[in-house]
Amino acid sequence: MVASLTPYPSLTKTPRHFHSLLHLYLFVSPPPPPNNDGFVRADQIDLKSLDEQLERHLTRVWTMEKNKNNHPPTATKRQEWEIDPSKLIVKSALARGTYGTVHRGVYDGVDVAVQDAHTSNKTSQASA
């Protein structure tokens, strides 16, 4: 079955998308019913429908890539209280508690304590 996919021009243009296209065929398309031997007959596969699905998928992927390249991510201005994460080095854990773990760390050459808050407690307290 996979060998029959190679003649499509869209696949020969972008071989890196072949895996996702195969995934689309295997997991999105309803599989044809197997015969008693567990094999699928090639004449039971609707290639026209498969081709349409592949083209829709490729169009969506190419559009997403094009939009991603046209709109570079904008740098957000850092607030006064925010730190530069590239200057922070998190070291060993000092203590663990209900709300998170406190680590030893270094920020911009200064020894600091870094609290890694547990996100599960944040969400449970926010809903309470």
92-110 pLDDT per residue, tens: 999 988 888 999 999 989 9
Residue 91 has a pLDDT of 93
User: Could you read off the pLDDT of 27-83 as tens digits, one per residue?
Assistant: 444 555 555 666 666 777 777 787 888 888 888 888 888 887 776 666 677 788 888
Residue 62 has a pLDDT of 84
Whether 87 has a pLDDT exceeding 50, the answer reads: yes
Residue ranges of the domains in the chain? 2-70, 85-127
Backbone torsions φ then ψ of 102, nearest 5 degrees: -105, 125
